[in-house]
Chains A and B, each alone.
Chain A
Amino acid sequence: MLLSSTSIDTLSRRVLFAITLAVLGLIVALFAFIFSFAAPVFMSSGAELMSSNWRPENQQFGITAMLKGSLILAVISTLAAFPIALGVSCFCLIPKFSKLAKPVIVVTRLAAGIPTVVYAVCALFILVPLVRQSFTASSGLCLLSAIIVMIILIMPTMIVLLNTQLAPSFQRHQLTANSLGMSDEQVICKVILPVSSKALASAAILGFSRAIGDTMIPLMLAGNAAQSTGSLLDSARTLTAHIGLVIATEKGSPEYNSLFAAGFILLLSSLTVTIIVRRLEQTHAAHD
């Protein structure tokens, strides 16, 4: 043997450590990169960017309307999709429904892999006319259409994640709890869920990140009007769709620079929500 087993161990440990450091370095570099591009933009025209008027011909480059659109879309989609995803994954855990659970899991896994543009194109021809006919005040291209499709988009990923996280926990505790007289539903509600706050938080964060970061669905379905609106039936633009629309303008122009600011704000929002949810999860776990 050229290499003893202990030296293979140390070698592999070192290689894995190096790879982890490299990945960590890339993530930090990404943040630093976006920050370094956005900082000069904020320094020179910070106040301008934070207004709610986007009218390049009048030299107004405010992106807060887009921020509002992104947040409304992501928060409402996640809040609506999360309970449904939790319900479906808990349903799939229960042994008495295992015959139905198997096809549900297979279909959900397939659905989690469908590209978002496919959802957007289908919705454009099926959902948008439906929304237009049901609500005469709307042209069909509105936040509501984008929210509905976003919920359908993020649900499969959340279901798959929750199922893989909760299943081992359920396996471990099921027989013991059943022998104590608890039904399967009681096991899930009273035993598994209270200690699975980490899994629930991860699923919520994953869903939210996907919802706030998606470009094709808001670009094709939400109408892209650069207005700050309170109604879900109005056309709105998200930060991601804004980047997609404005990237064709010339480099160096104030419109183009607003894209760096938009990217930075997007990253910041995602980060903030992740930190908040993790904090909540930790305080919840600390209570037990």
Chain B
Amino acid sequence: MKSTLLLGSVICLSALSSCSDSSSKQNENASAELKVFADQSGKLDIAGGTAHIPVMKAAAKEIMQFNPQIKITIAGGGSGVGAQQVAEGLVQIGNTGRPLKESEASRGLISHAFAVDGVAIILNPTNPVASLTQQQVIDIYSGKITNWEQLGGVENPISLYTRDEASGTRAVFFKKLLKQTPIAKSANVVPSNGAMKTSIANDPAAIGYSSIGFIDDSVSAPQLDGVTPSNEACLSGEYPITRKLFMNTQGEPSGITADFIQFIFSPSGAAFIEKSGYIAINAPE
């Protein structure tokens, strides 16, 4: 019994140590941007906007695979949480999908804009409605239009979905698309871009909005005033409902934080940004 236990633990330990050996062999093929992280170790905590998460995750994964001594954690919570937590020093990078408010900026936070993101209306894929005007969207969300047949769809009462008040996605939607018209009280409130996508994908009568980067085959994005929401349309200015994605730090960043921010601005970072469906902004000179 004792000898089997001993044998078993020796086998486990040797398997574990061989795992770490194989990952260090990847170091030779790493790009120059990654090599900055070669001899570093430490922790980096990131929290905030849910739209930023795919980009942050991809970058963090590559860095942590390159150098297992670095630990990067990524949390959501929305733009409000991001600004709050970085101001309190709970995280090193707070992501927001909107510019900082005065009360937040006055706490010494510095913003680094790294991507442009559009916010588009999303519908369930089974919904035949393929285009909407801005006025129609305003009327739907204020409760004036209540049934899909008024828009050329099937007879079904419209289910409204919106985000919670601390959301950066909601802020740009409310300001630019709804032109500050109050949203109907009966709208369902969901707490993240991901939850919005799941709700719309499951409800045939649903209408919601999300960051363009999150849109995939499970939802459909109708044309807005004749423009199909896409990254090219955002870049050219044809699609006006856009916002910048920001990383915020307390004062000037240093150490792993500064290296991570530079990594996001580098060509590898730009590749992650494009892959997640956003448009990369170049680093400020």
Contact = CB atoms under 8 A, between A and B. Distances in A.
Given A136-B156, A223-B188, A245-B189, A250 B80 contact: yes
A225 B84 contact: no
B186 A225 contact: yes
Nearest to A140: B203
A139 B205 contact: yes
Contacts of A57: 174, 180, 182
A224 B188 contact: yes
Q: How large is the interface on A (under 10, 10 to 19, 20 to 34, 35 or more residues)?
A: 20 to 34
B159 interface: yes
A224 B84 contact: no
B157 A245 contact: no
A137 interface: yes
Contact of B188 (A56, A225, A244, A250): A225
B240 interface: no
Interface in A93-144: 124-125, 128-129, 132, 136-137, 139-141
A223 B165 contact: no
B164 A246 contact: yes
A248 interface: yes
A223 B80 CA distance: 21
B127 to A, nearest CB: 14
B205 A248 contact: no
B202 A129 contact: yes
B264 interface: no
A139 B174 CA distance: 23
A234 B160 CA distance: 12
Interface string A226-252: 110000001101000000111011110
Interface string B76-87: 011011011000
Contact of B185 (A125, A132, A140, A226): A226
A139 B182 contact: no
A140 B206 CA distance: 11
A136 B156 CA distance: 8
Interface in A230-288: 234-235, 237, 244-246, 248-251, 255
30 contacts: A56-B165, A57-B174, A57-B180, A128-B202, A136-B156, A137-B157, A139-B159, A139-B188, A139-B206, A140-B202, A141-B199, A219-B191, A223-B189, A224-B189, A224-B190, A225-B185, A225-B186, A225-B187, A225-B188, A227-B186, A234-B186, A235-B188, A246-B165, A248-B78, A248-B80, A248-B84, A248-B164, A250-B83, A251-B84, A255-B165
Interface of A: 55-58, 124-125, 128-129, 132, 136-137, 139-141, 219, 223-227, 234-235, 237, 244-246, 248-251, 255
Given A58-B182, A250-B166, 15 more contacts: A57-B182, A128-B202, A137-B157, A139-B205, A139-B206, A223-B189, A224-B189, A225-B186, A225-B189, A245-B165, A249-B80, A249-B165, A250-B83, A250-B104, A251-B84
